[in-house]
């Protein structure tokens, strides 16, 4: 017989419909999308309303002045040059007449000279940096004295900055340095410390000419409304403690960005409100102060946290953050971001919905809301990144995480679209009833291939007996046993085939390469020459007598390459574990495959499938390099232009894995195989110029496997969250305890903090960037499962929850499989753990030991965060909640393993042909793992 040639048809049809007519078809869609977009814009508008606050029309008394530019640092070798210093002095001169410096080295000692030579009317409070390095302190003091004596615009001198607070110098040492400088300069001399250091060490106050206090209520965890009261209370307390001494506020301010500390929130609006209110109070009371600080200094972030880089009234690029008069907005350019995000989300949603204008308004509303919300979150992250001073390494991390968010966004939209069209779609274009062929109709010969490996003979005999009862005139059955060493397993099957007659042929291959694909390729070569259709079954499937009579007629259409019936199971009532698996499997075949069939994009399975022989031969048979050879073959046939037919009626039923280990290995194989297929066919799947697949097919194959990529990202987020939690726990504890004991050795607080910071850990909560996307996707997935099952799967609410539990239990396994698939070419076949004599509890815990360890680590991290941060901020609470949510899939895995270890009966589903022995189900579990 002449082989069928795949029909060549155009993958795109010219659309000559006028634009107004096309838009009229989507009028309802456009209205819904416009309304949701307006709601999105309205939310941005509501959150970015200008905030009224007191105006300040006077002159700022003084500014802390550190002229470091982008890429420069007080801790590095790159320092500002004279031109940069002069430019910064000219920038601040219109705002103030006083600046304070912090060092007398690195070129900063030239600030008085530069200000004087350029004619700027600026008075300098000259600072110096002292620490534990006594030799460098001596050189710093010499330069400080020299500049103070030679300069005509230095009005005050500061010996050190918070050296006592840091513990670098004792109060006695500081008094010695102060006295040394006082003897050599004419200007008043002081040192700068927070208010409480002066209160605790009055000897410092006796040694100085004036008191320089730092008042930074943000670090005290105070809300901005209470901050000014706090400042004045502490100012008055220090003044009362040192009567007759002039009080200078050496640092006062509020950061425009950073983590929350207690009730203190670092925002642009809070910074403006705090400082503008303070300026007015200071003017009324005649306070002498320096604002912390003139320009943002991101180099401080590594040792003081994110807020340390955002204290400036100007940003790092020397742009003012807010005006001194008028209302202030948190995000002045919000309209640009909002319009861009809303338009992008609008177009993304319309891209999906224009293909299904028949979706009811509820589905359109759901998808539009998901799109606008997800894009808004991603835009917020990008906006935050644009306002954050990132190092190269940090920029790479942010970029990688934003790329991950983009993948999660694509996954969310594709899942949302599937939910919308499955539940609220009105039109089905590719659903055909599987009607039995009438008696006398021409039916082509079918060759049914049954690969077996180490299968229990009793189970295989049941499958063969069902095939013998097929109501079909012309078929053969080829049983191919490969890699079975024990003759007691394959010889009874060979004898049974002989008893069943000439239609049944048995082949024992012994050691054979290629696993199941290798056996099937052998069967293809042994197929009867007059066979036109190939059928494939797993060894445990008991088919209905009318399977072939109902499915083969679809091949009368010359474009049909293969047909597929659902994988169904007859042991779903074999205990709670089996019931959970049964309904977890059912969702894909009752909803996912039906939706994919609408675009000729179904997944082919290695059982209950029929394939046109000529199409299979042209495709080169089964891929022995891929452990999901069935799905790979289906994709090859579609690339060759063949159509697939999916009929959701159950035509045969098998048995499910017998324990959690086998259930997990099966899903690992599917996920690993999916990555193999994507790598092998990446051009067809990802290259839009490759026309071997339609847009719908490409969409379903890429986005259908994207949830597994989402699980891989989720695993990365879990591991990243655990690592970051080390810093979140350890750094706050080092602030509380002077020493931290590690492995029996006491390390200093400074050593621990330095080590943790060096590897990128901190006590910042990267919730928006790091965790909320995966958390949102997790919540949506649960809602999606519930809604899809309620609409398409005939089970009750408890079974829906059970299906969700079964799916969640595999999250870790799938994530691992995807990562392994990225970096490995072939999977290894792990042995199923066997502990028949161990208690059920021990069996369950050992089976899910990896998931159990991860569960324990997540719970310990949540407890550690609670202890270290004392639930003091919403960020700490939310991070703990996120860790708890991340633990749910691992708890599900441990629960499923324990449930699977419990003894269960071997029941029969209603209407199925007979019970399955415990030996059969156990054998099938091994077969699914190895085949």
pLDDT band at residue 927 under the 50/70/90 scheme: very low
Quick one: pLDDT band at residue 143, thresholds 50, 70, 90?
very high
Mean pLDDT of 371-387: 84
From the number of C-beta atoms within 10 Å of its C-beta (0-12, 13-18, 19+), residue 243 rates as exposed
pLDDT exceeds 90 at position 22: no
Looking at the whole model, is its pTM more than 0.85?
Answer: no
Higher pLDDT, 265 or 770: 265
Q: How far apart are CA 470 and CA 772, in angstroms?
A: 54
Q: CA 488 to CA 439: how far, in whole Å?
A: 41
pLDDT of residue 766: 60
Determine which of 148-162, 656-670, 714-728, 801-815 has the lowest per-residue pLDDT on average: 714-728
Please write the tens of the pLDDT for every residue from 282-323: 999 999 999 999 999 988 887 777 788 999 999 999 999 999
- For residue 781, pLDDT over 90 is answered with no
Residue 438 CB coordination number (10 Å): 8
Write down the pLDDT at residue 305: 74
Provide the token pair at 537: 């079954």
pLDDT higher than 90, residue 928: no
Residue 667 confidence class, pLDDT cut points 50, 70, 90: very high
pLDDT at 912 over 80: no
pLDDT of residue 431: 86
Beginning with the edge strand found earlier in the chain, give each strand of the sheet holding 504-510 in spatial order.
504-510, 475-482, 445-452, 531-536, 609-612, 560-564, 643-646
| N-term to C-term CA, the chain | 33
Average pLDDT, the chain: 86
Task: Over range 354-381, report the average pLDDT.
Answer: 90
> Confidence class of residue 216 from pLDDT cuts 50, 70 and 90?
very high
Which tokens sit at 391? Answer: 């190092």
DSSP 3-state of 688: coil
Question: Looking at residue 207, what is its pLDDT?
Answer: 96
Which one-letter DSSP state was computed for residue 832?
P
Give pLDDT, residue 723: 84
Q: Quick one: pLDDT band at residue 759, thresholds 50, 70, 90?
A: very low
Beta strands in 422-465 (DSSP E): 445-452
Q: How far apart are CA 599 and CA 462, in angstroms?
A: 36
Which of the two residues, 660 and 827, has the higher pLDDT score?
Answer: 660
pLDDT of residue 923: 36
Averaged pLDDT for residues 508-530: 94
What are φ and ψ of residue 214, in 5° steps?
Answer: -105, 125
pLDDT in tens, 843-885: 667 888 999 999 999 999 999 988 887 766 677 788 888 899 8
Report cis status (omega within 30 of 0) of the bond before 293.
Answer: yes
pLDDT higher than threshold 80 for residue 481: yes
Strand order, beta sheet including 542-543: 542-543, 652-654, 568-569
Is the pLDDT at 497 greater than 90? The verdict is yes
Question: What does the alpha-carbon distance between residue 113 and residue 457 come to, in Å, rounded to a whole number?
Answer: 97
Q: Which two tokens stand for residue 532?
A: 């036109």
- pLDDT tens-digit series, residues 380-394: 878 877 777 776 766
Task: Return all residues near 765 (Cβ < 8 A) that are at least 6 apart.
Answer: 259, 728, 873, 875, 876, 878, 879
SS3 160: strand
pLDDT exceeds 90 at position 14: no
Distance CA 583, CA 887 (A): 23
Q: Comparing 325-334, 423-432, 581-590, 896-905, which segment has the lowest mean pLDDT?
A: 896-905
User: What residues contact residue 153 under an 8 Å CB cut-off, 6+ apart?
Assistant: 112, 115, 116, 122, 123, 124
Predicted local distance difference test score (pLDDT) of residue 391? 67
- Least confident piece of the model among 196-210, 416-430, 471-485, 609-623: 416-430
pLDDT higher than threshold 50 for residue 743: no
Strands (E), 720-865: 739-742, 745-748
Predicted pLDDT of residue 769: 54
pLDDT of residue 8: 33
Please give the structure tokens belonging to residue 274.
């705090």
Which candidate, 99, 107, 102, 182, places its Cα nearest to that of 145?
A: 182
Looking at residue 430, the DSSP 8-state letter turns out to be S
Q: What confidence category does residue 726 fall into, taking pLDDT thresholds of 50, 70 and 90?
A: confident
Contact 803, 795 (CB under 8 A): yes
- Comparing 162-171, 364-373, 375-384, 415-424, the range with the smallest average pLDDT is 375-384
Q: Locate tokens 């005649």: which residue? A: 286
Locus of tokens 């004392």: 870
Contact between 818 and 709 under an 8 Å Cβ cutoff? The reply is: yes
Residue 827 above 70 pLDDT? no
In the prediction, which pLDDT does 770 show?
A: 57
* 8 Å CB contact between 857 and 724: no
Q: With bands split at pLDDT 50, 70 and 90, how would you rate the model's confidence at 400?
A: confident
Give Rg (Cα) of the chain. 36
Considering only residues 847 and 568, tell me which one the structure prediction assigns the higher pLDDT.
568
CA distances from 519 to 289, 555, 923 (A): 85, 25, 18
Residue 449 CA: distances (Å) to CA of 436, 528, 603, 633: 22, 12, 19, 15
Reported as a pLDDT band with limits 50, 70 and 90, residue 412 is confident
Q: Residue 711: which residues within 8 A CB-CB, separation 6 or more?
A: 671, 811, 812, 814, 815, 818
The pLDDT assigned to 721 comes to 84
Q: Find the mean pLDDT for residues 444-471.
A: 96
Instruction: Give the DSSP per-residue string, 505-553.
Output: EEEEEES-TTHHHHHHHHHHHHS-TTEEEEEE--TT-EE-TTHHHHHGG
Name the least confident of 515-524, 623-632, 828-837.
828-837
Residue 6 has pLDDT above 60, yes or no: no
């Amino acid at each position: 017989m002449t082989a069928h040639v795949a029909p060549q048809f155009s993958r795109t049809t010219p659309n000559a419909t006028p634009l107004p007519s096309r838009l009229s078809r989507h009028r309802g869609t456009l209205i819904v999308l416009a309304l949701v977009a307006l709601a999105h814009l309205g939310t941005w508008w509501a959150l970015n309303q200008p905030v009224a606050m007191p105006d300040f029309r006077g002159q700022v008394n003084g500014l802390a002045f550190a002229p470091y530019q982008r890429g420069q640092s007080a801790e590095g070798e790159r320092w500002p040059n004279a031109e940069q210093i002069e430019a910064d002095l000219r920038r601040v001169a219109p705002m103030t007449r006083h600046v304070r410096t912090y060092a007398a080295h690195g070129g900063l000692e030239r600030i008085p000279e530069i200000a004087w030579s350029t004619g700027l009317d600026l008075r300098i409070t000259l600072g110096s940096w002292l620490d534990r390095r006594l030799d460098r302190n001596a050189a710093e003091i010499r330069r400080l004295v020299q500049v103070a004596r030679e300069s005509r615009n230095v009005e005050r001198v500061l010996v050190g900055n918070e050296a006592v607070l840091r513990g670098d110098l004792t109060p006695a040492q500081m008094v010695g340095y102060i006295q040394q400088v006082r003897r050599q300069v004419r200007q008043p001399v002081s040192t700068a410390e927070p208010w409480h250091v002066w209160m605790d060490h009055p000897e410092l106050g006796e040694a100085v000419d004036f008191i320089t206090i730092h008042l930074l209520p943000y670090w005290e965890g105070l809300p901005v409304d209470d901050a000014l009261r706090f400042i004045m209370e502490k100012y008055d307390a220090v003044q009362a403690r040192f009567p007759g001494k002039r009080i200078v506020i050496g640092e006062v301010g509020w950061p425009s960005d950073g983590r929350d500390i207690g009730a203190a929130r670092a925002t642009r609006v809070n910074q403006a409100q705090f400082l503008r209110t303070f300026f007015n109070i200071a003017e009324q009371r005649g306070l002498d102060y320096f604002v912390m600080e003139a320009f943002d200094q991101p180099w401080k972030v590594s040792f003081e946290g994110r807020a340390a880089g955002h204290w400036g009234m100007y940003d790092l690029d020397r742009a003012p953050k807010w005006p001194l008069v008028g209302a202030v907005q948190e995000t002045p350019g919000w309209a640009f971001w909002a319009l861009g995000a809303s338009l992008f989300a609008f177009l993304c949603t319309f891209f999906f919905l224009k293909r299904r204008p028949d979706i009811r308004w509820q589905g359109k509303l759901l998808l539009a809301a998901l799109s606008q919300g997800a894009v808004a979150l991603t835009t917020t992250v990008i906006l935050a990144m644009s306002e954050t001073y990132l190092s190269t390494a940090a920029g790479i991390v942010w970029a990688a995480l934003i790329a991950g968010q983009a993948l999660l966004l694509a996954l969310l939209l594709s899942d949302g679209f599937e939910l919308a069209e499955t539940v609220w779609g009105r039109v089905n274009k590719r659903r055909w009833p599987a009607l039995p062929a009438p008696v006398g109709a021409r039916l082509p010969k079918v060759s049914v291939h049954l690969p077996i490996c180490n299968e229990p003979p009793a189970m295989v005999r049941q499958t063969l007996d069902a095939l013998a009862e097929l109501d079909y005139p012309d078929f053969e059955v080829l049983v191919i046993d490969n890699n079975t060493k024990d003759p007691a397993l394959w010889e009874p099957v060979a004898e049974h085939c002989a008893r069943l007659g000439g239609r049944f042929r048995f082949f024992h291959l012994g050691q054979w390469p290629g696993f199941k694909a290798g056996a099937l390729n052998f069967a293809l070569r042994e197929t009867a020459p007059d066979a036109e259709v190939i059928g494939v079954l797993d060894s445990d499937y008991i088919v209905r007598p009318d399977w072939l009579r109902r499915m083969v007629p679809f091949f009368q259409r010359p474009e049909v390459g293969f047909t597929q019936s659902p994988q169904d199971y007859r042991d779903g009532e074999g205990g709670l574990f089996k019931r959970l698996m049964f309904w977890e499997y059912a969702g894909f075949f009752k909803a996912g495959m039906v939706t994919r069939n609408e675009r000729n994009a179904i997944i082919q399975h290695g059982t209950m499938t029929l394939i046109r022989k000529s199409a299979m031969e042209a495709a080169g048979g089964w891929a022995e390099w891929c452990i999901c050879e069935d799905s790979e073959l289906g994709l090859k046939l579609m690339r060759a232009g063949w159509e697939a037919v999916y009929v959701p009626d159950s035509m045969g039923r098998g048995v499910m894995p017998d324990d959690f280990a086998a259930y997990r290995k099966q899903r690992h194989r599917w996920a690993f195989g999916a990555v193999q297929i994507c790598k092998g066919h990446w051009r067809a799947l990802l290259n839009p110029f490759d026309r071997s697949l339609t847009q719908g097919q490409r969409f379903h194959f890429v986005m259908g496997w994207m949830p597994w990529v989402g699980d891989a990202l989720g695993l990365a987020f879990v591991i990243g969250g655990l690592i970051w939690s080390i810093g979140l726990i350890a750094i706050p504890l080092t602030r509380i305890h002077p020493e931290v004991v590690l492995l029996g050795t006491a390390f200093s607080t400074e050593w621990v903090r330095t080590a943790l910071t060096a590897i990128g850990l901190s006590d910042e909560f990267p919730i928006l960037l790091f965790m909320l996307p995966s958390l949102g996707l997790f919540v949506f997935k649960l809602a999606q499962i519930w809604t899809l099952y309620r609409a398409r799967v005939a089970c009750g609410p408890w079974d829906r929850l059970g299906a969700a539990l079964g799916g969640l239990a595999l999250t870790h396994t799938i994530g691992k499989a995807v990562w392994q698939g990225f970096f490995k070419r072939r999977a290894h076949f792990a042995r199923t753990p066997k502990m028949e004599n161990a208690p059920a509890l021990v069996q369950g815990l050992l089976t899910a030991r990896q998931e159990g360890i991860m569960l324990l680590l997540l719970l310990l991290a949540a407890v550690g965060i609670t202890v270290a941060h004392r639930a003091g901020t919403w960020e700490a609470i939310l991070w703990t909640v996120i860790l708890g949510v991340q633990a749910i899939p691992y708890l599900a895995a441990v629960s499923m393993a324990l449930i699977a270890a419990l003894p269960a009966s071997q029941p029969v589903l209603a209407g199925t042909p007979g019970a399955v022995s415990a030996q059969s189900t156990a054998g099938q579990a091994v077969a699914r793992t190895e085949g």
